[in-house]
């Protein structure tokens, strides 16, 4: 009986042990966290510098863009923290070490992802929460129950999109040897989620909304919260894209595990 | 009712024929040319509960592919396979609950964690009740003497220690079948014998069916009552290991270091042997590797000392070693009809 | 002559195997250029000049800067780190070859591939698809010289950072910190003209903008005379010399610990 409780218990056990083991590497923890903070600050600093020269970007003010940036980081966090092991996938596949994941009565994606959590991404999460809080205070966002629920719902959907894209782009490793470039491509796309979709027009607007759906990761959700009057039908597509992309990525992953073992090493 | 049953088991692979040259590389972009490789070509198996069966055979000749189909990692192209009542590939997650797998080269424990923590996680995964878990743990501590190892992280263990822990981990949930793939590879003599002892005891105590693959004749000798030889995707021998080893166990390989001899000494040595031991099945040349040349001797027919002293009188070898017969030689002799 | 053809053919075959790899890197860069165009069009919002830079100039600069970044991205510090962690570095140190030189020749082919597959097409996209004006003359070959110097500067920085791998296993942290510093301080994400005057002046004393602005200015600045170009190249060469020496010194010091203590 594979219940949610069963998987939660196992995940908790594996992760707590992993954290205990990693805590021995104190220097690595600090250096990684500092690196992460610097990366976040760079994004923040870029915005800050820019707004010394302009009053608004596509009609969006500074605090709104900070909110947008924060939301995009929050949406990336679950993928970064929980699914980070995908970056090692191509090494495990090439060396054949991946075979061990077939032998336990556990869902293979769960088992593989549970092997590590990305501790430094927690720093990113903390940073994002802080600037989300400060920008929403500056903007006077009223956190009543409907708004909070909307935020959470949209965050979950956006996170699913991010997870889906991450798993999809890393699953190429099951078929192609040098698949790093696809993951690299995805990471670069991910960085654009912090910009308002209104800067794009025409063909590219469609591409970034429907083909590489980064618009749904931060912009449309933020628009729904900050400028509800402007928000259109796109907001309602966010959960659909989230669920759909995640489901697709799981299917591709599953096919990948069957395909790889089929070539037998 | 056998616990493992396979009929006409086959596995075909589509292999890409890479075309040569620059033009070929371009053509490969547009049309792909495949050939069909029969890695496993119609194998029948029937293994009863509690047996220890040794699978032997050269690498890349269908042995590992067959095992993978039994474990459920590969889907059979043709034929049927039923293990423990399951079709392994179709119901992986449920099927895997009752088997254990030990891979010689890789650990299944969590690398950074102390061994005992890995066991605790396994206890959760297999939903073991406290009593069964503690009993097994006690048994392993006693059998394997791993009591002091339990607190160490897996990465700090030696290869032998890690192998023992991996075996313990595989038996922890009292599986019905255990697949051991090259369990003694890279281990020194003492640990190798410990591993064999442990596996034998656990098979006796728990009645676990054991499917063993190994290149080591010693593993087969000590553990497997039954041997299955797979080569070229086909089953060449399925019977008592005693009989099999009886034929081949009496063979010894003389390894001769020929670096002091002029030119290519193989023909001269071969002629000399044919002259001195003219009967059929006399000492014959085996493989040569670098400056070493193998001579295979059947001790049932010729005294090893006689052959050795003859050769050493005729030729001055830099060094001499005596070893068991090699698997590749065994295969060759099977094809030559040694089993008939 | 026939031998060179054979080698060329063989390396082309290898390149075809990596076609997917280069395709995605190029695609990634192309998308960046498109996003940059849209983003900065919005930032300019119809204005002619911002901080003394026209939209065309800003767009060209940022697109080419990112192309240079991708061109020079060799992950040398990662390679070094892995070999240090695995202990294989000892093998490299025992060889009678110069380690730094070895690394350079190793990745030079890779960078050449990057140039042909990513940097050059990106440049062509900027010039032809977006119609950005680029003068044609002596600036083209001098730009290539400048890029070579940029490579040396960038590689030396990466190599210097890679030496930290002798002191800590935290490769990601070091690498990302280096990337953040290089990108921010070289004006590759936001042109330096947008920074406050004081910071800008301070940054001009650092080698980072010598990696990006030097080759780009030589290539695109129509108003730059030969004299000015040579001066820029001279400044780059100076930085290159300093950093190469620093990198070698750091490596000698760090690796000595390994050879003395034995891994």
Q: What DSSP assignment string belongs to B45-73?
A: EEE-TT-EEEEE--TTSSHHHHHHHHHTS
| B195 and B95 within one domain | yes
Query: For residues A13 and B122, is the Cβ–Cβ distance under 8 A?
Result: no
User: Does the beta carbon of C13 lie under 8 angstroms from any beta carbon of chain B?
Assistant: yes
- Chain A residues with CB-CB distance to C172 below 8 A: 32, 35, 120
Residues of B in contact with A98 (CB under 8 A): none
CA distances from residue A41 to A44, B176, C177 in whole angstroms, order as listed: 5, 56, 11
Burial of C74-92, coded b for 16+ CB within 10 Å and e otherwise, reads bbbbbbbbebbeeeebeee
pLDDT attached to residue A174: 92
Of A43-52, A124-133, B88-97, C96-105, the one with minimum mean pLDDT is C96-105
Q: What is the pLDDT of residue B19?
A: 65
Same domain, B35 and B109: yes
Helix (H) or strand (E) holding A93, with range, is: helix A89-95
Give yes or no: residues B199 and B294 share one domain. Answer: no
**Mean pLDDT score of chain B, rounded to an integer?**
87
* Angular region, B145: left φ>0, alpha ψ -120 to 50, beta rest: left
Percentage of residues in chain A with pLDDT exceeding 70? 98
ipTM, two decimals: 0.91
Chains that touch A (3 or more CB pairs under 8 A): B, C
The domain that contains B258 carries what CATH number? 3.30.70.920
> Residue B115 — φ and ψ, nearest 5°?
-55, -40
Decide if A95 touches C, using CB distance below 8 A: no
Contacts of C24 in chain A (CB under 8 A): 181-182, 184-185
Range name among A132-141, B319-328, C47-56, C120-129 with the lowest pLDDT average: B319-328
DSSP state, residue C138: T
Pairing verdict, β B284-289 and B292-298: antiparallel
Q: How confident is the model at residue B209 (pLDDT cuts 50, 70, 90)?
A: very high
- Contacts for B307-315 with beta carbons within 8 Å, 24 or more apart? B307/B254, B307/B273, B307/B277, B307/B283, B308/B254, B310/B272, B310/B276, B311/B254, B311/B256, B311/B269, B311/B272, B311/B273, B314/B272, B315/B256, B315/B258, B315/B261, B315/B265, B315/B268, B315/B269, B315/B272
Number of domains chain C contains: 1
The residue that leads in pLDDT, B102 or B339, is: B102
Inspect the interface and report whether the beta carbons of C9 and B22 lie closer than 8 Å.
yes
Quick check: is B338 in a domain?
Answer: no
Identify which has the larger pLDDT, B146 or A265. Answer: B146
The CA dihedral of A139, A143, A149, A154, to the nearest 10 degrees, is 10
- Does B142 fall in a domain? yes
Look at chain B and report how many structural domains it folds into.
Answer: 2
Adjacency order of strands within the sheet including B4-16: B34-47, B4-16, B78-83
Inspect the interface and report whether the beta carbons of B94 and A21 lie closer than 8 Å: no
The residues in C 118-137 lying below 8 A from B, measured between CB atoms, are none
The mean pLDDT of chain A is: 91
Which chains have at least 3 CB atom pairs separated by less than 8 Å from chain B?
Answer: A, C
Cβ–Cβ below 8 Å for A182 and C45: no
How far apart are alpha carbons B229 and B235 in whole angstroms?
Answer: 6
DSSP state of B325: P
Q: Under a CB-based contact definition with an 8 Å cutoff, are residues A195 and A219 in contact?
A: yes
Q: Please check whether residues B92 and B189 belong to one and the same domain.
A: yes
CB C150 within 8 A of CB C69: no
Q: Which residue of B has its CA nearest to A262?
A: B74
Assess whether B151 and B270 both reside in one domain.
Answer: no
Query: Residue C12 — very low, low, confident or very high, per pLDDT cuts 50/70/90?
Result: low
Surface-to-core class of residue C93, CB atoms within 10 Å of its CB (0-12 exposed, 13-18 middle, 19+ buried) = middle
Considering the domain architecture, whether residues B206 and B229 belong to the same structural domain is answered as yes
- Our CA dihedral for A213, A214, A217, A219, rounded to 10 degrees, sits at -110
Report chain A residues whose CB lies below 8 A from the CB of C208: none
Instruction: Please name the residue of chain C whose CA is at the shortest distance from the CA of residue A48.
Output: C195
Distance of CA B43 to CAs B80, B210, C43, Å?
10, 19, 70
Clarify whether residues B129 and B210 are in a common domain: yes
State residue C263's pLDDT score.
Answer: 45
The verdict on a CB contact (< 8 Å) between A99 and B125 is: no
Whether the CB of B26 is below 8 Å from some CB of chain C: the reply is yes
Nearest residue to B329 (alpha-carbon basis) of B183, B231, B185 = B231
Note down the domain range covering C110.
2-261
Q: How far is CA A259 from the centre of its chain?
A: 26
d(CA B107, CA B331): 30
Residues counted in chain A: 265
Q: Considering only residues 91 to 120 of chain C, which have any Cβ-Cβ distance to chain A shorter than 8 Å?
A: none
pLDDT at C222: 74
Q: Tell me the C-alpha distance between C165 and C87, whole Å.
A: 11
CA distances from A121 to B46, B72, B240, C83 (A): 52, 36, 58, 26
A26 touches chain C (CB under 8 A): no
Residue A3 contacts residue A106 (beta carbons within 8 Å): no
Partner C contacted by B335 (CB < 8 A): no
pLDDT tens column, C76-85: 888 888 888 7
C87 touches A: beta carbon within 8 Å: no
**A1-23 tens-digit pLDDT:** 568 999 999 999 999 999 998 88
Of A185, A159, A133, A180, the closest CA to residue A241 belongs to: A159
B334 located within any domain: no
Q: What is the pLDDT of residue B33?
A: 72
A88 touches chain B (CB under 8 A): no
Write the residue in A13, A22, A97 that is nearest to B121 by C-beta.
A13
- Answer yes or no: do C25 and A57 touch at CB < 8 A: no
Instruction: Kindly identify which residue of chain A lies nearest to residue C169, measuring between CA atoms.
Output: A28
What is the residue extent of each domain of chain A?
4-260
Q: In terms of CA atoms, which chain B residue is nearest residue A264?
A: B65
Task: Calculate the CA dihedral of residues C159, C161, C163, C164 and round it to 10 degrees.
Answer: -170
**A251-259 LR contacts (CB < 8 Å, sep 24+):** A252/A167, A252/A168, A252/A171, A253/A108, A253/A109, A253/A167, A253/A171, A253/A174, A254/A108, A254/A109, A255/A174, A256/A171, A256/A173, A256/A174, A256/A175, A257/A101, A257/A102, A257/A108, A257/A174, A258/B75, A259/A174, A259/A175
Helix, strand or coil for residue C87? coil
Rounded distance between C-alpha atoms, residue C173 and residue C170, angstroms: 6
Q: What are the pLDDT digits (tens) for B275-315? A: 888 877 788 888 888 888 888 888 888 888 888 898 889 88
- In this predicted structure, the answer to whether residue B198 has a pLDDT above a threshold of 90 is yes
- Closest-CA distance, B21 to chain C, in angstroms, reads 8
Residues of A in contact with C181 (CB under 8 A): 38
Chain A residues with CB-CB distance to C41 below 8 A: 199
Identify the CA nearest to C20 among candidates B16, B31, A177, B22: A177
Which of A13, A100, A115 lies closest to B124 in CB terms? Answer: A13
This prediction has a pTM of 0.86
Least confidently predicted of A162-166, B283-287, B329-333, C165-169:
B329-333
Query: Would you say residue A265 has pLDDT above 50?
Result: no
Question: Which of the 8 DSSP states describes residue A59?
Answer: T
CB B53 within 8 A of CB B240: no
CA gap C213, C236 in Å, rounded? 10
Closest CA to B146 of B116, B106, B105: B116
What pLDDT is attached to residue B50?
A: 93
**In angstroms, what separates the C-alpha of B22 from chain C's closest C-alpha?**
6
Neighbours of chain C (3+ CB pairs under 8 A): A, B
Classify strands C49-50 and B284-289 as parallel, antiparallel or unpaired. Answer: unpaired
How far from the centroid of its chain's Cα atoms is residue A157's Cα? 10
CA–CA separation, B215 and B115 (whole Å) = 28
Residue in chain A nearest B153 by alpha carbon? A21
Neighbouring CB atoms inside 10 A of B295's CB total: 19
User: Which chain C residues touch B21 with a CB distance below 8 Å?
Assistant: 9, 13
Taking the CA of residue C17 and the nearest CA in chain B, the distance in Å comes to: 9
CB atoms B25 and C9 under 8 Å: no
Which chain C residues in 14-33 lie under 8 Å from chain B, judged by CB atoms?
A: 16
Sign of the C-alpha dihedral computed for residues A156, A247, A105 and A259 taken in this order: negative
Contacts of B74 in chain A (CB under 8 A): 261-262, 264
Q: For residues B153 and B270, state if they share a domain.
A: no
Give the Cα separation of B160 and B145 in Å (integer): 12
Task: Please indicate whether, in this complex, the C-beta atoms of A199 and C18 are within 8 angstroms of each other.
Answer: no
Report if residue B335 sits inside a domain. no
Q: Which residues of A touch B75 (CB under 8 A)?
A: 258, 262
Domain range for B260: 250-324
Residues B186 and B302 in one domain: no
* A210 interfaces chain C, CB cutoff of 8 Å: no
pLDDT tier, C11 (very low <50, low <70, confident <90, very high otherwise): low
- Give me B316's structure tokens: 């001055």
pLDDT (mean) for C200-216: 87
- Which DSSP state fits B18? P
Spell out which residues of chain B touch residue A104, defining contact as CB-CB under 8 Å: 96, 125
- Alpha-carbon distances of C210 from B168, B214, C65, rounded to whole Å: 60, 61, 11
Tokens 């001269």 appear where? B268
- Let me know: does B102 contact B181? Beta carbons within 8 Å: yes
């Amino acid at each position: 009986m594979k219940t949610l409780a069963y998987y939660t218990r196992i995940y908790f056990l594996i992760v707590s042990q992993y954290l205990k083991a990693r805590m021995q590497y104190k220097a690595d923890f600090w250096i990684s966290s500092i690196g992460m903070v610097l990366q976040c600050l760079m994004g923040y600093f870029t915005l800050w510098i820019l707004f010394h020269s302009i009053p608004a970007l596509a009609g969006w003010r500074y605090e709104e863009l900070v909110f947008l940036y924060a939301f995009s980081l929050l949406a990336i966090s679950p993928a970064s923290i929980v699914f980070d092991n995908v970056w090692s996938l191509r090494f495990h596949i090439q060396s054949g070490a991946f075979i061990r994941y077939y032998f336990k009565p556990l869902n293979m994606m769960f088992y593989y992802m549970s092997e590590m959590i990305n501790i430094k991404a927690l720093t990113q999460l903390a940073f994002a929460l802080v600037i989300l809080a400060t920008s929403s205070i500056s903007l006077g966002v009223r956190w009543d129950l409907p708004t909070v629920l909307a935020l959470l719902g949209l965050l979950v959907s956006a996170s699913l999109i991010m997870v889906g894209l991450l798993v999809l782009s890393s699953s190429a490793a099951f078929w192609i040897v040098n698949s790093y470039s696809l993951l690299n491509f995805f990471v670069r796309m991910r960085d654009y989620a912090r910009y308002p979709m209104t800067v794009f027009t025409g063909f590219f607007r469609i591409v970034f909304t429907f083909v590489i759906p980064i618009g749904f990761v931060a912009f449309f959700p933020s628009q729904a919260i900050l400028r509800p009057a402007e928000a259109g039908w796109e907001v309602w597509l966010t959960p659909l894209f989230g669920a759909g992309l995640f489901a697709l990525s799981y299917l591709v992953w599953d096919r990948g595990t069957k395909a790889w073992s089929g070539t037998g090493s | 009712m056998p616990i493992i049953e396979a009929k006409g088991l086959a596995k075909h692979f589509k292999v890409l024929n890479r075309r040569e040259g620059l033009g070929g590389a371009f053509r490969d972009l547009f049309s792909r040319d495949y050939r069909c490789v029969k890695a496993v070509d119609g194998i029948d198996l029937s293994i009863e509960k509690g047996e220890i069966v040794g699978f032997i055979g050269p690498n890349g000749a269908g042995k590992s592919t067959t095992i993978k189909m039994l474990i459920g990692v590969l889907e059979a192209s043709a034929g049927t396979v039923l293990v423990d009542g399951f079709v392994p590939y179709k119901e992986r997650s449920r099927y895997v609950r009752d088997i254990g797998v030990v891979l010689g080269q890789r650990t299944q424990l969590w690398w950074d964690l102390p061994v005992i923590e890995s066991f605790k996680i396994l206890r959760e995964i297999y939903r073991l009740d406290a009593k069964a878990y503690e009993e097994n743990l006690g048994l392993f501590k006693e059998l394997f003497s791993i009591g002091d190892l339990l607190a160490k992280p897996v990465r700090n263990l030696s290869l032998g220690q890690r192998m023992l822990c991996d075996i313990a981990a595989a038996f922890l949930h009292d599986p019905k079948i255990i697949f051991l793939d090259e369990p003694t590879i890279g281990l020194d003599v003492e640990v190798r014998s410990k591993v064999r002892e442990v596996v034998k005891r656990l098979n006796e105590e728990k009645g676990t069916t054991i499917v063993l693959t190994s290149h080591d004749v010693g593993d087969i000798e000590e553990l497997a009552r039954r041997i299955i030889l797979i080569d070229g995707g086909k089953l060449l021998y399925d019977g008592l290991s005693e009989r099999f080893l009886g034929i081949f166990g009496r063979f010894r390989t003389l390894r001769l270091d020929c670096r002091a001899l002029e030119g290519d000494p193989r023909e001269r040595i071969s002629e000399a042997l044919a002259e001195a031991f003219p009967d059929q099945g006399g000492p014959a040349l085996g493989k040569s590797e670098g400056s070493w040349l193998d001579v295979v001797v059947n001790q049932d027919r010729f005294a090893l000392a006689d052959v050795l002293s003859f050769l050493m009188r005729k030729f001055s070898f830099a060094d001499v070693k005596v070893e068991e017969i090699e698997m590749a030689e065994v295969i060759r002799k099977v094809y030559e009809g040694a089993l008939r | 002559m026939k031998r060179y053809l054979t080698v060329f053919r063989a390396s082309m075959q290898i390149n075809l195997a990596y076609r997917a790899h280069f395709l995605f890197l190029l695609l990634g860069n192309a998308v960046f250029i498109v996003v940059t165009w849209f983003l900065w069009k919005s930032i300019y919002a119809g204005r002619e000049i911002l901080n003394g830079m026209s939209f065309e100039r800003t767009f060209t600069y940022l697109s080419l800067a990112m192309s240079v970044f991708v061109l020079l991205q060799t992950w040398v510090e990662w390679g070094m780190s892995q070999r240090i962690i695995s202990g294989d570095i000892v093998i490299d140190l025992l060889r009678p070859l110069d380690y730094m030189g070895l690394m350079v020749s190793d990745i030079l082919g890779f960078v050449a591939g990057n140039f042909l597959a990513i940097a050059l097409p990106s440049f062509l996209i900027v010039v032809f698809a977006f119609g950005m004006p680029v003068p044609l003359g002596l600036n083209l070959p001098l730009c290539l010289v400048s890029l070579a110097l940029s490579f040396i500067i960038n590689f030396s920085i990466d190599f210097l950072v890679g030496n930290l791998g002798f002191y800590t296993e935290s490769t990601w942290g070091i690498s990302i910190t280096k990337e953040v510093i290089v990108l921010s301080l070289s004006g590759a994400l936001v042109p330096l003209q947008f920074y406050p005057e004081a910071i800008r002046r301070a940054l001009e004393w650092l080698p980072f903008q010598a990696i990006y602005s030097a080759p780009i200015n030589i290539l695109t600045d129509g108003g730059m005379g030969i004299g000015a170009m040579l001066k820029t190249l001279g400044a780059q060469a100076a930085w290159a010399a300093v950093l190469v020496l620093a990198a070698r010194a750091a490596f000698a010091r760090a690796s000595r610990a390994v050879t003395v203590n034995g891994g």
